[in-house]
Amino acid sequence: MDKKKGLTLSGKHNLIGWLFLLPASLMIFWMCFYPIVRGFILSLYSGKTPATMIFVGFRNYARIFNDANFLLTIRNTFIYLIVQVPVMLLLAIILASMLNSKDLKLKGIFRTAIFLPCAVSLVAYSIIFRSLFATDGLINHILISAGIFTENYNWLNNGLTAKIVIIVALLWRWTGYNMIFFLSALQNIDYSIYEAARIDGAGAFSQFTRITAPLLKPMILLTAIMSTNGTLQLFDESFNLTRGGPGKETMTMSHYIYETAFQKSPNLPYASTISYVILIMVAVIAVLQIKVGDKR
């Protein structure tokens, strides 16, 4: 008598597993991968409406190199990246080291206070900083009261000071976020290592440079990649804090994509092209960071 053919128990388990994954997989494909492919196809066309679009190949990509506004937004974004990311990560490491001390009291309160800015909405905190640095804002009031300024200063009407305001806002918003990563890594370091170093005569600075920093290297690499990717895609601060002004002196690449796609003279194909250029930049920089930071 022939045995009935069918799925084995493990085969049934695999089938059930794939059935559970299927709805989420379809959603991910539809919401993520399809728009990526569709955006690339769109970048190969030119025109403002579907009826007027014509295939132009890679002409939009060649146009980018002659787009003075986009080149300006690249410069602005990389200024934020080069200045803000190293300062933020250094502050995050220092704060994490201080809050990891066994002798510090009320550590929970300090950790919560430093991390709280991360819970604030991106739009809300951008508007708050816009009001703080307004001509009649709190910052000018404090500086005039302290005798540093004699009259109100328009922080957001100067390209340099407007960039400084954005960098300060980014430091306030994201330092605590990265501090949590470093704090979790520090708590995995055996405290006896620091005790042995102190017995050998190592000071706080030597402990930081010879113990803390080397052991935090994987976490530094991770946070550097995440912070770099986030900064290259910066939008809320440019759009809500400075409106990209004065002129386009503080506008980021993502803000320029939004302006190109939906404002002034909408041009979705060219906006898609810029999006792919940013994707390539993010990927290249991430690979370089991994190659430089990971010696394995």
CA–CA gap between residue 14 and residue 9 (Å, rounded):
9
Percentage of the chain modeled with pLDDT above 70: 97
pLDDT in tens, 131-149: 999 999 999 999 999 999 8
Is pLDDT above 70 for 123?
A: yes
Total Cβ atoms within 10 A of residue 103: 5
Q: Which residue has the tokens 């990389």?
A: 78
Residue 160 pLDDT level (bands cut at 50, 70, 90) = very high
Band (70; pLDDT cuts 50, 70, 90)? very high
Strand partners, 46: 54
pLDDT at res. 293: 67
Cβ distance 266 to 280 under 8 Å?
no
pLDDT at 89 over 90: yes
Q: What is the mean pLDDT of residues 52-77?
A: 91
Cβ burial 239-257 (10 Å sphere, 16+ → b, else e): bbbbebeeebbbbbbbbbb
How does residue 213 score in pLDDT terms, banded at 50, 70 and 90? confident
C-alpha 22: how far from its chain's center?
Answer: 31
User: Which residue ranges form the domains of the chain, and what is each CATH number?
Assistant: 67-264 (1.10.3720.10)
Query: What pLDDT is stored for residue 141 in this prediction?
Result: 93
**Residues in the chain, how many?**
296
0.95 exceeded by pTM:
no
The rounded distance, in Å, linking the Cα atoms of 50 and 228 is 35
Please compute the mean of the pLDDT values over residues 229-238 and round it to a whole number: 91
Please write the tens of the pLDDT for every residue from 164-184. Answer: 999 999 999 999 999 999 999
Question: What is the spatial distance between Cα 67 and Cα 59, in angstroms, rounded to a whole number?
Answer: 13
Distance CA 102, CA 97 (A): 10
Strand partners, 45: 55
- Residue 22, pLDDT > 50, answer yes
Summarize the confidence of residues 101-123 as an average pLDDT.
86
